[in-house]
Every structure is written in structure tokens, then in C-alpha cells.
């Protein structure tokens, strides 16, 4: 004999058998809303009026169409990426910027190495730092060489009273640059009565900067805006000069 029970949650009526109620102590699962309720307490009288009966609640356990329907999915939204992806993008950007910064720094160091002398021309105060860096790298910072910024302020030659063929050259050099630079080589030309050259000689710094500190002075260079007085003894026994011309070597020496 079948009985009728009503779900206490959704009010749906079901036809059940005594054996179904006895199987689990009267507990049954509603095939419509899925609620487990007391089937014995929900029993209805057969003459209680017309009822719309649903299939046995046990069938609802196996019929997917009778199971509670999941709520419809919400509209898709722009969802944030997973945490590992959110971290991956900044890491890649930092790596990229780090690589670009390293390349830029390497290029700057290389350009500074190649142009280290020119840098000291524009920024003389950078020389100590560049020299310190070069010592660590096994290089040096050559002094600038700008002959056009060096001038011979005065010069004269006179005979030395001790030897007839010996003459003495006095000259004053001036560095008009705002940075120290190399001592120049000078060109001395002896001439005859008609100003024709009879002897030409190149005078290098180690020759006209005589003394125990000449090598140190050459290494330091002519100081910015400084002057250098020099005296040089020359043997003219092979010629009889009547005049001379003194100019910076490889500069224009007027005839």
C-alpha cells in the first residue's frame, strides 16, 4: 500500500511505500528541493483533497533532472589574474629595466674609458676620480694635448761667455687652457744672415725640463693657466747662426 508524504520545506507531495519509510527510519530526501525530511511526520491522509504528486523521493536521488538546479552563472567579469601571474609581470619588467640599466651603465663606462682625457678637459675636477678608477683597471688618464692653447710668451738667445760655440736659450711658455696639459715639443731653427734655415732642432720636454724632478713635472703637466720658464744650453759649433725662430713643434713657424 502506498502512502503520501509532503516535504516540509517546499511542500511537494510524494507517493511513498512503507518499505521506503522503514528503510531509514522514515527519513527521505525530497526529489525536488533535495531536503532530507521526516517522511512519517509528513504523511497525508488519502482523502485530504486533490494533490499533484511527484515521483517517489528516492527516484530524485538518481534522476539528475529532479535534483536542485544550480543558480544561473553570473555575467562574466574582468577577473584579476592568479597571484603567480600578477607577480610574474612586475618581475619581468624589473628584469628588463635592470638589463637596460646595466647595458646603459656598461656603455657609459666604455665611453668614459675612451674619452677619459676629453672628460678632464671639460671637467678638470674629475681627474682624481678617473685616475683612481684607472688604477683599479690597470690604465691611466693621459693629459690633454692642445698646442693651440699653449703660447711662447717670450724667448731670447745669447752667447755663453764661457764657450764661443755655446748659446743659451731662455723662453717662457704659458698654458692658456683651464686644465693641465702635456708639455709641448718645440722647434728651434737657426738662420743665416738672409733668414735662411741652417739648422733645425726639435726640443722635447725631457730635454728642456732638466733637473731631478723633470719626470715628475712632465707627468703632472703644465698647470691650468700656468707659466713655465726654461733655460737651455745649445752647442752651435757646426754652424754660424745669425738668427733663430722658436715655435711649437708642428705648429706654423713663420719664415
pLDDT of residue 103: 83
Q: Are residues 48 and 116 in the same domain?
A: no
pLDDT 10s digits, 14-37? 787 777 777 777 788 887 888 888
Domain range for 101 is 90-137
Q: Are residues 128 and 185 in the same domain?
A: no
In a domain, residue 74? The reply is no
Q: Are residues 124 and 154 in the same domain?
A: no
Give this prediction's pTM: 0.50
pLDDT 10s digits, 90-136? 778 888 888 888 888 777 766 666 667 777 777 787 788 877 887 77
pLDDT class of 63 with cuts at 50, 70, 90: very low
What does the pLDDT average to over 185-206? Answer: 91
Q: How many domains does the chain have?
A: 3
Residue 199 φ then ψ, to 5°: -160, 130
Q: In what order do the strands lie in the sheet with 43-44?
A: 43-44, 2-6, 13-17, 53-54
In a domain, residue 27? The reply is yes
What percent of the chain has pLDDT above 70?
76
Q: Are residues 122 and 164 in the same domain?
A: no
In a domain, residue 254? The reply is no
pLDDT of residue 43: 79
In a domain, residue 225? The reply is yes
In a domain, residue 39? The reply is yes
Q: Are residues 159 and 122 in the same domain?
A: no
- Strand 13-17 vs strand 2-6: parallel, antiparallel, or unpaired? antiparallel
The CATH number that applies at residue 176 is 2.60.40
In a domain, residue 142? The reply is no
pLDDT of residue 176: 94
Q: Are residues 97 and 166 in the same domain?
A: no
What does the pLDDT average to over 38-60? Answer: 60
Q: Are residues 124 and 159 in the same domain?
A: no
Please report, to the nearest 10 degrees, the dihedral formed by the alpha carbons of residues 118, 122, 124, 127 taken in order: -40
Contact (Cβ atoms closer than 8 angstroms) between residue 34 and residue 14: no
- Burial of 199 (C-beta count, 10 Å sphere; 0-12/13-18/19+): middle
Q: Are residues 241 and 189 in the same domain?
A: yes
Q: Are residues 24 and 113 in the same domain?
A: no
Q: Are residues 190 and 234 in the same domain?
A: yes
Q: Are residues 242 and 153 in the same domain?
A: yes
Q: Are residues 133 and 180 in the same domain?
A: no
Distance (Å, whole) CA 104 – CA 98: 10
Distance (Å, whole) CA 230 – CA 253: 20
Amino acid at each position: 500500500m502506498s502512502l503520501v508524504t509532503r516535504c516540509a520545506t517546499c511542500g511537494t507531495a510524494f507517493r511513498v511505500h512503507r518499505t521506503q519509510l522503514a528503510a531509514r527510519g522514515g527519513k527521505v530526501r525530497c526529489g525536488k528541493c533535495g531536503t532530507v525530511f521526516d517522511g512519517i511526520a509528513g504523511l497525508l491522509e488519502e482523502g485530504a483533497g486533490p494533490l499533484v504528486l511527484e515521483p517517489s523521493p528516492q527516484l530524485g536521488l538518481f534522476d539528475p533532472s529532479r535534483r536542485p538546479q544550480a543558480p544561473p552563472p553570473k555575467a562574466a567579469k574582468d577577473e584579476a589574474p592568479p597571484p603567480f601571474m600578477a607577480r610574474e609581470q612586475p618581475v619581468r619588467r624589473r628584469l628588463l629595466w635592470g638589463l637596460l640599466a646595466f647595458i646603459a651603465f656598461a656603455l657609459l663606462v666604455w665611453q668614459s674609458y675612451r674619452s677619459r682625457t676629453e672628460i678632464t678637459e671639460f671637467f678638470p675636477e674629475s681627474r682624481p676620480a678617473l685616475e683612481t678608477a684607472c688604477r683599479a683597471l690597470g690604465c691611466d688618464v693621459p693629459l690633454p694635448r692642445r698646442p693651440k692653447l699653449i703660447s711662447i710668451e717670450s724667448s731670447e738667445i745669447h752667447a755663453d761667455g764661457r764657450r764661443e760655440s755655446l748659446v743659451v736659450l731662455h723662453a717662457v711658455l704659458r698654458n692658456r687652457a683651464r686644465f693641465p696639459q702635456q708639455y709641448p715639443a718645440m722647434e728651434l731653427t737657426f738662420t743665416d744672415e738672409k733668414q735662411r734655415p741652417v739648422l733645425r732642432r726639435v726640443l722635447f720636454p725631457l730635454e728642456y725640463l732638466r733637473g731631478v724632478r723633470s719626470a715628475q713635472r712632465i707627468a703632472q703637466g703644465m698647470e691650468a693657466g700656468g707659466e713655465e720658464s726654461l733655460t737651455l744650453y745649445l752647442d752651435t759649433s757646426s754652424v754660424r747662426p745669425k738668427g733663430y725662430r722658436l715655435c711649437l713643434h708642428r705648429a706654423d713657424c713663420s719664415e
